[in-house]
Structure 1
Amino acid sequence: MPSETSDYSIYRRVVSQLMQGEEQLPSLPTITLDIRRALGDPNVSLSALVRLISRDPALSALLIKHASSALYRHTAAPKTLLEVISRLGLADVDRITMVHSIKSLFTLHSPGHKRLFVETWRRLAIKASTSAVLARLLSNVTAEHALLASLLSEVGTLAVLSAFRSENVTPSSELYYKLCQEYSKSLSIIVLKKWSVHNDYIEIVRDSGNWQRSPGHSLQLLDLVNLALYHAIKEYSPAAELPPLQDLAVYQKLMPPQDFIGENGELSLVISHRADILAIAQTLR
């Protein structure tokens, strides 16, 4: 019977082959490119955007969910796509379109494939939602900007899964996690460059998980992503070796009561806003 070491060698070869053939990596859907191109046109009308977005019913539904979520504190839910776009703003519509595309890119090919995707997407949704809530509570970064940056920082984690599209066997959760540790960052950078996203997001990938990196005096996008990553690791990988929260460079930017730490070593702020985090994560599923 093959050992775990030999299995891992096989899986490494599959992922390495994926990285060497850019055409095998996921591309953004045509509808996403059309919408993003329109959003970048200063002369585009809201009615033209509504017609374009209406071509993707799943995206339309997601935009409505977001506009009605805990991120946007309005008493009345929007009833039309025009109201949704007006409430969210073009920048957030662009970001939510990217979020929708990221999830839809990774089709499931087997029960094992689906299991790994569901586990991974659940974690990424919580992490991204934590980034969004922290952005709203602590910084001038918009919640949707933080949410998208958090997801994009781990697009390579999902891309690792695409290496096993045509394979009869998918790795165990343990081996998949090990593959992600080895390849996720490199794959994220390759995919984001292929998608021509702003270089700021690529720099976030490079510094994600670097607990001593915290540029500037105020909270930056990277700080929010790393704080969310830290909390996600504590929740989903409790055996992982992490420094105490107060040793993180970003922690030094927090002032009381924002810097209060609970008994489990997490920010009290994150613990007390768990319901908001879960509500936002639900809009991503």
Structure 2
Amino acid sequence: MYTENALLTILVEKINNDTLVLPTLPAIALKVRRAADDPNINLNAMADVLGQDPSLCARMIKISNSAYLGRAVKVTSTQQAVTRIGLRQIKNISTALAMEQLFVSKNDVVKEYMDRVWADTIEVVASSLAVLQIHIRQTKNRLLSLESMMLAALINNIGVLPVLTEAERHSEVFANLTFLDAAIDKLSGKIGASIMKEWGFESDFIQVAAYFKDMSVQTDAISYLDLVRLGAALCGRLEEHKDEVFELAVSKGIVNQFSDLLSEDFAELRDNAKLIFA
């Protein structure tokens, strides 16, 4: 109990004093987001920005050729990928693809924990994207976009990173990972919201990071928060709230019936989404 309380005390004190070190957005993602916000940017200029990171370029080409975008003709260059994806979508897709760079550590125990968090997050992303695609097919409602859905699902647990960074300084925490889990459960939402605000993200993303686990917070209209929760419940997270989440999926009109999320069609959409990060 002492170790748990010690870690929580340290984190709370740093949050209150505004001294908790928050992760910074990967440099290439920051450059792309700034370029996308430039009203004078064009496709060629955006391709040049992406060209500064060969790894991101390769992943952009991969997503352009994926079943996720549903195109048969293959692209082979960054410029073609940017043209296919479009300037509006590039901003959030590039940020999403760069997020994995944050889940790294030189500490073996922290790295193992981060790897597990990242793998769980990809499951949530894939399920959330599949849910949205089913929703769009059934309702023709395109108010929520796939690229924003991807990013919203990826940042649902972003608040764990500063907790893990702080825990890395206190190796005794890892003697019993329930201490770490408790700190994450209690503080990751508040910390996640701080990260989203620090990065200048829109309110939809702040909402997901802050209230993902807090079912007392609901939205009137169908939101990214709803779909991230549903995606999480479908892959075994939010166990204590899964019945409520599944009921809301139908009552809010996310899907016509819950069985739509148990179909082969849903499974194929989910598996195609996973390939984006393979």
Short-chain TM bin: 0.7 to 0.9
- Structure 2 matches for 1:97-112, cutoff 5 A? 97-112=94-109
CA 1:276–1:9: 2 relative to 1, 3 Å: same
Structure 2 residue 166 is the aligned partner of structure 1 residue 163: yes
Output the amino acid matched with 2:266: H
Q: What is the distance in 2 between the residues matched to 1:222 and 1:41?
A: 28
Post-superposition Cα deviations, 1:123-144, rounded to whole Å, max 9, x if no partner, equal 1111012111111220322222
- Contact 1:109 1:165 survives alignment (8 Å): no
Instruction: Give the aligned residue type for 2:273.
Output: I
Which residue number in structure 2 is paired with residue 260 of structure 1? 258
Deviations 1:142-194 (A, max 9, x none): 22211111222321123322223444455344333322210110000111111
Q: Which runs of 5+ in 2 are unaligned?
A: 137-141
What whole-Å deviation, never above 9, does each CA across 1:65-123 have from its counterpart, x for those lacking one?
22122211111221111111111112221112212333212331211011101111011
Q: What is aligned with 2:200?
A: 196
Distance 1:274 1:34, change over 3 A: same
Q: Is the 8 A contact 1:64 1:84 kept in 2?
A: yes
What is the rounded CA distance, in whole Å, between the counterparts of 1:75 and 1:48 in structure 2? Answer: 26
**Identical residues among aligned pairs (%):** 20
Q: For the aligned residues, what is the CA RMSD?
A: 2.6
**Residue ranges of structure 1 left out of the alignment (5+ in a row):** none
What is the CA-CA distance between 1:23 and the residue it aligns to? 6.3
Cα distance, 1:201–1:136 mapped onto 2, change above 3 Å = same
Residue aligned with 1:176, SS: helix
Is this contact kept in 1: 2:167–2:180, CA < 8 A? no
1:17 shift after superposition: 5.0
Summarize the Cα distance change of 1:69–1:167 in structure 2 as closer, same or farther, 3 Å threshold: farther
Mean CA deviation greater in 36-45 or 115-124: 36-45
How far residue 56 of structure 1 moved from its aligned partner, in angstroms, is 0.9
- Aligned-pair distance for 1:27? 1.4
Q: Which deviates further from its counterpart, 25-34 or 52-61?
A: 25-34
Structure 2 letter corresponding to 1:203 = Q
**What corresponds to 1:280 in structure 2?**
273
Specify which of 125, 135, 150 is matched with residue 138 of structure 1.
Answer: 135
Matched, 1:215 2:211: no
Structure 1 CA distance for aligned equivalents of residues 20 and 2 of structure 2: 27
Query: Counterpart of 1:73 in 2: which secondary structure?
Result: coil
Distance 1:199 1:22 in 2: 23
Residue pairs, 1:1-285, within 5 angstroms: 5-16=1-12, 18-19=14-15, 20-22=17-19, 24-139=21-136, 140=142, 141-169=144-172, 171=174, 172-211=176-215, 213-216=218-221, 219-232=222-235, 235=236, 240-242=239-241, 244-245=243-244, 248-254=247-253, 258-261=256-259, 267-269=261-263, 272-285=265-278
Q: Using the TM superposition, name which of 18-27 and 188-197 deviates more.
A: 18-27
1:233-282 Cα deviation digits (max 9, x unpaired): xx257xx42352576333203387x41349xxxx324x652343233224
Question: Is the CA contact 2:104–2:114 (under 8 Å) kept in the aligned structure 1?
Answer: no
When residues 45 and 242 of structure 1 are mapped into structure 2, their CA distance, relative to the original with a 3 A threshold, is: closer
Name the CA shift for 1:253/1:79 in 2 (closer, same or farther; >3 Å). Answer: same
TM-score, normalised via structure 2 length: 0.85
Offset of residue 52 of structure 1: 1.3
